[in-house]
């Protein structure tokens, strides 16, 4: 997974555990696509200070994920649900029993709400 996407997801999950500065800088850098210079100017700090805060925040996010594995578990669950939905569609296509089709459609609807 691309680091930018990964940090953005981790920030959504664990962002409230960061300091307000770290959260704001990471959010601006990864989600609002601001440069280090723009962040430094917006917060009246040096470019280096912005970079340091972002790096510290990134390290914390990866630390939290290493310990709690929320993103990993969520991505694994989403993949499992997608696989199940695909199998349900295959069963519906290849078998004609209307009762089975109705049950599978209901299960598919319920699983779709989880993705």
Among the listed residues 53, 56, 57, the one whose alpha carbon sits nearest the alpha carbon of residue 45: 53
**Percent of the chain whose predicted confidence (pLDDT) is above 90:** 65
DSSP summary character for residue 33: -
Considering the domain architecture, whether residues 26 and 82 belong to the same structural domain is answered as no
Neighbours of 45 (CB within 10 A): 15
CA distance 1 to 105: 32
Packed helices 47-68 and 70-94: angle between N→C axes, nearest 10 degrees: 60
Cβ neighbours around 56 below 10 Å, total: 16
The predicted pLDDT at position 24 comes to 97
In this structure, the answer to whether residues 36 and 91 fall within a common structural domain is no
Q: Say what the pLDDT of residue 98 is.
A: 78
pLDDT tens across 14-58, in order? Answer: 999 999 999 999 999 999 999 999 999 999 999 999 999 999 999
Query: Domain holding 59: CATH number?
Result: 1.10.10.10
**Whether residue 41 is found in the same domain as residue 62:** yes
Are both 85 and 56 inside the same structural domain? no
More confident residue, 16 or 96: 16
**pTM, entire model:** 0.78
Question: How many independent structural domains does the chain possess?
Answer: 2
| Same domain flag for 80 and 54 | no
Domain carrying residue 98: 74-112
Residue 113: the pLDDT is 79
CB 7 within 8 A of CB 58: yes
- pLDDT above 70: percentage of residues in the chain: 99
Task: Tell whether 35 and 10 lie within a shared domain.
Answer: yes
Does 46 lie in the same domain as 9?
yes
């Amino acid at each position: 997974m691309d680091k930018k996407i990964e940090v953005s997801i981790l920030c959504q999950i664990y962002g409230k555990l960061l300091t307000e500065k770290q959260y704001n800088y990471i959010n601006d850098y990864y989600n609002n696509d601001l440069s280090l210079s723009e962040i430094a100017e917006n917060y009246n700090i040096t470019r280096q200070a912005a970079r340091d805060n972002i790096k510290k925040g990134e390290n914390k996010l990866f630390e939290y994920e290493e310990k709690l594995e929320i993103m990993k578990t969520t991505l694994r669950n989403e993949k499992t649900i997608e696989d199940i939905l695909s199998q349900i569609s295959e069963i519906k296509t290849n078998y004609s029993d209307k009762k089975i089709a109705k049950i599978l459609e209901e299960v598919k609807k319920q699983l779709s709400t989880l993705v």
